[in-house]
Amino acid sequence: MSMKIGFIGLGNMGAPMASNLAKAGHQVTGFDVAGTTAEGVAAAVDLEWAVKGMDVVITMLPNGSILRQVAAQAIPHMGKGTLFIDCSTVDVESAKNTSEAAEDEGILAVDAPVSGGIGGAAGGTLTFMAGGSEAAFAKAKPLFDIMGQKAVHCGDAGAGQAAKICNNMILGVTMIATCEAFALADKLGLDRQKMFDVVSTSSGYSWSMNAYCPAPGVGPTSPADNGYAPGFAAELMLKDLGLSQQAAEMANADTPMGEMARTLYAQFVEDEDGKGKDFSAMLPRFEKRNRG
């Protein structure tokens, strides 16, 4: 059944997600403060226009502060029974705050950050990690099925963000370890293809090695084969690792590897040449460095 959907945030991720919903037959109206548009999506003149009278409102925004601001503006114009899906990656508290604000007005709410990057958004193969009530998730599921290939109901409000933060902390740590290992293999005179052939089929197996290998010409095609043009930018990994450490502090959790990964990506992005490169560009960084 066709729904009227308001989509707020038409950036690199939001625009293709909104377009996929429109291609599936939904009436999608989009709004972005930068004035960006999306194929098949009607453009709203302001945020109120994009949310008023909609069955569903979806947001894809840069951070928790902006999410809170957008939610404060949007919720008063949304009717009871409307569904609010936030697909941004934000701190757990902002996700919970937004869900509570929506639910207080009789609006169903789901925090549903995604994994899969720009390619997944364009191809409709994202994974959604969702937090919220059973009823809210059930209403959102048909839309997740259009925009992605998998949706997991992780628990109550904020659980989607918790899952995303934990997942990407693992990703940041394993990518650094993978890049370190290739740099060490180089210095030991080990051929990169031989390294991949061994590690990818033994106990060093990981997504960072097998699906997104940081060494050019080795394994499946990845950003390393395109000059490290970002599939997932290093500054976005830094953002997610920062969220993981913010969450760890809030939960009083000991995450030394996550903190070290955050520190290394901060150095790479802020003090070196990592900004604007894929997060796997840690490999050429380690290639150029010596011990100490």
> Looking at the annotation, which residues are catalytic?
164
CB atoms within 10 A of CB 52: 17
What region does 158 belong to: left with phi over 0, alpha with psi -120 to 50, or beta?
A: left
- Compute the distance between CA of residue 215 and CA of residue 268 in angstroms, rounded to an integer: 18
- Phi, psi angle pair for 17, to nearest 5°: -65, -45
CA distances to 10, 13, 84, 221 from 38, in Å: 7, 11, 20, 27
CA distances to 213, 247, 286 from 224, in Å: 7, 31, 14
H-helix segments, 24-74: 47-51, 64-74
CB atoms within 10 A of CB 242: 15
What region does 106 belong to: left with phi over 0, alpha with psi -120 to 50, or beta?
A: left
- What residue has token string 């990994």? 237
**Strands in the chain per DSSP E:** 4-8, 27-31, 42-43, 56-59, 83-86, 108-111, 114-115, 126-132, 148-155
Tallying the residues shown for the chain, one arrives at 292
- Compute the distance between CA of residue 29 and CA of residue 264 in angstroms, rounded to an integer: 40
